[in-house]
Structure 1
Amino acid sequence: MEIKISSDFILKGLQLISWVVFIGLCIHSGSLLFTMVYALIGNPNAADYYELDHVLQADNSHFITLMSIMIIVAVLKSILFYCIIKVFVKKHLNVNYPFTEAFFSFINNMAWFALGIGLFSYWGSGYLKKLSLLNLPIPNEQTVHIAGADVWIFMAIILLVLAQLFKKGVAMQHENEYTI
């Protein structure tokens, strides 16, 4: 017995997964912001969750910088998934007419957000290395959720190339519409 899965079913599943990831990333972004503020004004032990209590004890500015990078990366990831959800909700996906300005804009925006995530993750990794030179016990990149800068930058380059292909496709499609 062969099971056929339609593309509509797959798209609905991807939309559901996108919503779950988006909500999780929003919660994560908010918890990072709350942790930073709470650790600075209320309870310094709150920084222990991300293993940054030693950084906070050593210097507030290092803690604020590292937490800000973490928050920026988390917010950019949330925005990236918001863009994905927006495509599903506004029905920008049309298999019969794929080369549209809206879809080009979607891919282009995703590329720039991925590049931003990659650059801030790279900056955060470098900042962690700088802090390790100060002989502070610092967490690894996975613990502070800034790992994978190279993967994000690689994805951004691929998406920028795809965006340019879609841009060319949009131009060719418009040209064909005006040709009799």
Structure 2
Amino acid sequence: MRVLFWVVFIGLCINTGALLLSTLVSLFTSSASRLPGGLDLSALYQYDTRLYIPYVSLVIALSALKAYMAYLMIKIVTRFDLDRPFNTEVALLVTRIGHVALEAAVLALLITSYGKWVQHRGVELQPLDGTGEWLFLAGVIFTIAHVFRRGVEFQAENDLTV
């Protein structure tokens, strides 16, 4: 699992870096149609770069949050012990992943709202929506975090009993 999460983390970091670098290059060469992930923002770039920069910045921030979640998963995998699966550190990391997923949901909502606002101005923009999925993920992770917190309490109580 460690290797898998490292591969995912490195891939997401490369994607975030590619988005950032492509955005910087697009500001100087007017090539906003070649962003990673098939993201074509050339219509927005041609319409107004002052609208393009905040939109692509939000997309980069969402990509960075995905990479951060993968990093937190690496930390969980390295600290997880099958003999004592419920410990405070893992419970806190799972809770932190839930917070990051909630932050990603808010960011996805901002991206969607900003994209709709731009489309109302007459710019053809491919829609990016994932707010519901991020909210669902945050809810699932918060539930798992609650189970881990209760597991830590039961494990500590069991240790005191024995």
Question: Structure 1 residue 77 and structure 2 residue 66: aligned?
Answer: yes
TM-score (norm 2): 0.89
Q: CA RMSD in A?
A: 1.5
Deviation at 1:136, TM superposition (A): 0.5
TM-score (norm 1): 0.81
2:33 to 48, 73, 78: 48
Tell me which residue corresponds to 2:22.
35
Aligned length: 158
Q: Give the unaligned 5+ runs of structure 1.
A: 1-13, 142-146
1:166 to 143, 148, 156: 148
Tell me which residue corresponds to 1:148.
130
Question: Structure 1 residue 98 and structure 2 residue 85: aligned?
Answer: yes
Q: Give the unaligned 5+ runs of structure 2.
A: none
One-letter code aligned to 1:56: Y
1:23 to 2, 10, 13: 10
One-letter code aligned to 1:48: S
Tell me which residue corresponds to 1:61.
50
Deviation at 1:61, TM superposition (A): 2.1
Structure 2 CA distance for aligned equivalents of residues 168 and 120 of structure 1: 30
Secondary structure, aligned partner of 1:99: coil
List 4+ stretches of structure 1 deviating above 2 A: 14-17, 175-180
Deviation at 1:56, TM superposition (A): 1.5
Deviation at 1:132, TM superposition (A): 0.8
One-letter code aligned to 1:176: N
One-letter code aligned to 2:149: K
Deviation at 1:87, TM superposition (A): 2.4
